[in-house]
Amino acid sequence: MAASKPLPEGLQLQTLAVREAEAKSQFGENSEALYLTSSFVQPDAATAARRFAGEEDGYIYSRFTNPTVASMEQRLAALEGTEACMGTSSGMSAILLMCMGLLKAGDHVVCSQSVFGSTIKLIAGEFGKFGVESTFVSQTDVAAWQAAIKPNTKLLFAETPTNPLTEVCDIAALADVAHKAGAWLAVDNCFCSPALQQPAKLGADLIIHSGTKYLDGQGRVVAGAICCSQQLIDERFMPVMRSAGMSLSPFNAWVVLKGLETLSIRMKAQSENAMALATWLEAHPQVARVYYPGLKSHPQHDLALRQQSGLGGAVLSFDVKAQGPEQSRQKAFHVIDHTQVMSITANLGDTKTTITHPASTSHGRLTEVQRQAAGIGQGLIRVAVGLEHIDDLKVDLARGLDTLA
Ligand SMILES: *Cc1c(COP(=O)(O)O)cnc(C)c1O
């Protein structure tokens, strides 16, 4: 007995974010149930046989199906505007699942050179070992993506805005390049989340999420997801999930499910805080440059506002004024170490503001030459803005900025 009323068609994102889920249990719980179980009891042997053969719907085993995970998947798919979604144990395992499902030896991937560092290591390093070729191109140069296409190109992979320089790529233009080449376009939508940006509406075939970031939104769990068509899930991803098991735990799925309920208001409030902080930083005499899509000075400002619901997102970076790498690093450390509110951590997507020095943390494994090429200098500081009061955040950064020699 399903105790839920079916949802009407045409609901807005904010409504889907709190309402879309699996049917309620016979108890009629208002908050979605957490099904902490590894397996599901079958009514009889014949039903079990039909369910294992895929001839009848029904939960079997939580490596590949669980009602709490299904609720999270249905809700996230509804927000992204895709037919389906598959939850995974982390953002990286979502990318692993995608590449395992779509690629084979001899295939070629074109990827932005500014994507998350582990993504580059996974595609170029791990998949390189199995004979998948890859080419890394400029995030913002559509002609470079086009020029990198080969007859064996199967997948284009972008992330927008990027970490930490917030470079924005044109999703619709890249979808066009991909589809003319008979390839898929995947977009890592971690920084904007579907509350600000829905890549599927711009032509992306697959949307990758690190649920660890804004979807959970409060820094509690590691989680991931792929949003795409039902056909890709059935034909490409479910077989890999059943065999390889990069499964999302029901508990983590439940935390993300509840996080999605406040996603819109968090993204809006955190973007507004980030915009105010970016504007304030741009006017500060000790700041050389601010990277934030909401600022007019950002090279892809117009594109970003069009593509991101008029908001810049919650991540910004800035360079402190300094001479040479040594002094830049020392001044950046001074600013970071004088904060008393912000958390010094490389994570992002939390209600707590985080501050980090990319050159010595997330991008610390690159050589100085690679870092220079990526535009990540020793004076660069990244702030992922949370929900604290904006005045407290300004004072926190001013403590260090105002005392720079
Ligand atoms: C954090 C992050 C990932 C990886 O996600 P995990 O959940 O940490 O595995 C992928 N892409 C982007 C843009 C990220 O910020």
CB 254 within 8 A of CB 34: yes
* pLDDT single digits (tens) 200-249: 999 999 999 999 999 999 999 999 999 999 999 999 999 999 999 999 99
Structural contact between residues 167 and 140, judged by C-beta atoms closer than 8 angstroms: yes
Distances 359 to 7, 117, 290, 383, 405 between C-alpha atoms, Å: 48, 12, 16, 14, 22
366: confidence class by pLDDT, cuts 50, 70, 90: confident
Task: Select from 139, 188, 209, 210 the residue to mutate for testing ligand 1; criterion: most ligand atoms less than 8 Å from CB.
Answer: 210
pLDDT level of residue 5 (50, 70, 90 thresholds): confident
Percent of the chain with pLDDT over 70: 99
Average pLDDT over residues 35-51: 97
Ligand 1 within 6 A of CB of 382: no
Mean pLDDT of 50-73: 95
Sorted by sequence, the CB contacts under 8 Å of residue 372 that are 6+ apart come out as none
107 lines ligand 1 (CB under 6 A): no
pLDDT digits (tens, 9 = 90+) for 102-160: 999 999 999 999 998 899 999 999 999 999 999 999 999 999 999 999 999 999 999 99
pLDDT for residue 3: 56
Please give the pLDDT value at position 79: 98
Q: At how many degrees (to 10) do helices 67-80 and 250-260 cross?
A: 40
What number of CA atoms fall less than 13 Å from residue 272's CA on the CB side? 10
Q: Ligand 1 atom closest to Cα of 348?
A: 15
pLDDT exceeds 80 at position 2: no
- Is residue 350 in contact with ligand 1, taking CB distance under 6 Å? no
Strand pairing class (315-320; 380-384) = antiparallel
The three-class DSSP label of residue 343 is strand
Nearest in space to 17 (alpha carbons), one of 196, 208, 248 = 196
How many CB atoms within 10 Å of residue 194? 30
**Distance from residue 224's CA to the centre of ligand 1 (Å):** 8
State whether the beta carbon of 256 lies less than 6 angstroms from ligand 1: no
pLDDT reading at 99 higher than 60: yes
Q: Is the CB of 23 under 6 A from ligand 1?
A: no
Is residue 405 pLDDT above 90, yes or no?
A: no
Three-state DSSP state, 285: coil
| Residues forming CATH 3.90.1150.10 domain(s) in the chain | 264-401
Instruction: Please report the atom of ligand 1 found closest to the CA of residue 190.
Output: 13
pLDDT at 390: 98
When pLDDT is cut at 50, 70 and 90, the band that residue 1 belongs to is very low
Report domain 13-262's class.
Answer: alpha beta
Which region among 1-5, 36-40, 218-222 has the lowest average model confidence (pLDDT)? 1-5
| Domain 264-401 bears CATH identifier 3.90.1150.10 | yes
374 pLDDT higher than 80: no
User: Cα of 92 to ligand 1 centre, how many Å?
Assistant: 6
- CB of 162 shorter than 6 A to ligand 1: no
Q: Whose CA is nearest to atom 1 of ligand 1?
A: 210
| Average pLDDT of the residues in 45-50 | 96
Residue 91 CA, ligand 1 centroid: distance in Å: 5
Q: Give CATH 3.40.640.10 domain extents, the chain.
A: 13-262
159 close to ligand 1 (CB < 6 Angstrom): yes
Q: Is the pLDDT of residue 370 over 80?
A: no
Kindly report the backbone phi and psi dihedral angles of residue 288, in degrees, each rounded to the nearest multiple of 5, phi listed first.
Answer: -85, -40
* 373 pLDDT more than 80: no
